[in-house]
């Protein structure tokens, strides 16, 4: 890590999450009696490397989130912004509210990323200018055509499942987003926008527990992972105190 480097974070939570099948947007569903997005924000709030956070949400949820921030004492969130029609547009809105040298973009519904993984991503970005958290693909992947017929089997050794955060020099990400906007291009993630701009993006290996809560079965799995993590912390605490 660069000495004294301070990072800004854009937490994107503007989606409706129709695959969850709930009337409530997935980022506000409770995980251990606390909205998922609050778990996510608390992680970055607690990291010394993080200076400011912008939370991007649906326009109808801005006031609601401002109240949640007060309730949970999240002081690093400098703004709650109304997002755009696409995730990429929401990130660009968040970027306009930040001026630091380095910025991370993180999904609001990835509450289980660890500080260690975040720091690995930051360090990789500081070396290369752009980095993403990712994990090697475990399964064999098949490319299938419109008729459901397998047409290719990519080498699994070259395949990684991409996560967030994704970390960048802010000026690079801003320029890449401006170019995408001018050309009407919409990518699936920020790394794709930067790749298209011509910059290299490196991979920092993360954890398989950094799940994105998207479908109904993800929520009990997240509950289990979080409870297991807290149990391990308690066991380490007791070992440290000799009790």
Please list, in sequence order, all residues whose beta carbon lies within 8 angstroms of the beta carbon of residue 223, skipping any fewer than 6 positions away. 31, 32
Q: Kindly report the pTM of this predicted structure.
A: 0.93
User: Is residue 61 scored above 80 in pLDDT?
Assistant: yes
- CA angle 171–175–178, rounded 5-degree value: 140
28 part of a folded domain = yes
147 part of a folded domain = no
149 part of a folded domain = no
131 part of a folded domain = yes
Would you state the pLDDT for residue 237? 83
Domain total in the chain: 1
Please list, in sequence order, all residues whose beta carbon lies within 8 angstroms of the beta carbon of residue 78, skipping any fewer than 6 positions away. 52, 53, 54, 97
Residue 217's domain spans which residues? Answer: 7-140+156-241
- What does pLDDT average to over the chain? 93
Tokens of 134: 């990712």
Q: Other CB atoms closer than 10 Å to residue 83's CB: what's the count?
A: 23
Rounded Cα–Cα distance for residues 37 and 52 (Å): 16
CATH number, domain with residue 205: 3.90.550.10
Would you state the pLDDT for residue 238? 83
pLDDT tens sequence across 21-57 = 677 889 999 999 999 999 999 999 999 999 999 999 9
Longest dimension (CA), the chain: 63
- CA angle 15–17–20, rounded 5-degree value: 160
* Nearest partner of 5 among 49, 45, 43, judged by Cα: 49
Look at 68 and 3; give whichever has higher pLDDT: 68
* Nearest partner of 9 among 109, 122, 178, 142, judged by Cα: 122
2 part of a folded domain = no
Tokens of 143: 């490319």
């Amino acid at each position: 890590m660069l000495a004294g480097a301070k990072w800004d974070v854009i937490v994107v939570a503007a989606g409706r999450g129709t695959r969850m099948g709930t009337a409530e947007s997935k980022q506000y569903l409770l995980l251990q009696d606390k909205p998922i997005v609050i778990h996510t924000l608390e992680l970055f709030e607690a990291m010394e490397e993080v200076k400011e956070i912008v939370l991007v949400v649906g326009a109808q949820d801005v006031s609601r989130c401002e109240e949640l921030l007060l309730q949970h004492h999240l002081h690093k969130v400098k703004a709650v912004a109304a997002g755009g029609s696409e995730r990429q547009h929401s990130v660009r809105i968040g970027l306009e509210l930040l001026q630091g040298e380095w910025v991370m973009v993180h999904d609001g519904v990835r509450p289980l990323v660890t500080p260690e993984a975040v720091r690995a991503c930051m360090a990789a970005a500081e070396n290369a200018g752009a980095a993403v958290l990712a994990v090697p693909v475990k399964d064999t992947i098949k490319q299938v055509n419109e008729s459901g017929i397998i047409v290719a089997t990519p080498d699994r050794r070259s395949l990684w499942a991409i996560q967030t955060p994704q970390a960048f020099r802010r000026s690079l990400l801003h320029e890449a987003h401006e170019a995408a906007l001018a050309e009407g291009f919409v990518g699936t993630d920020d790394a794709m926008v930067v790749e298209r701009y011509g910059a290299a993006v490196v991979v920092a290996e993360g954890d398989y527990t950094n799940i994105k809560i998207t479908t109904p079965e993800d929520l009990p799995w997240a509950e289990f992972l979080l409870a297991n993590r807290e149990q391990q912390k308690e066991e380490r605490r007791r070992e440290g105190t000799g009790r």
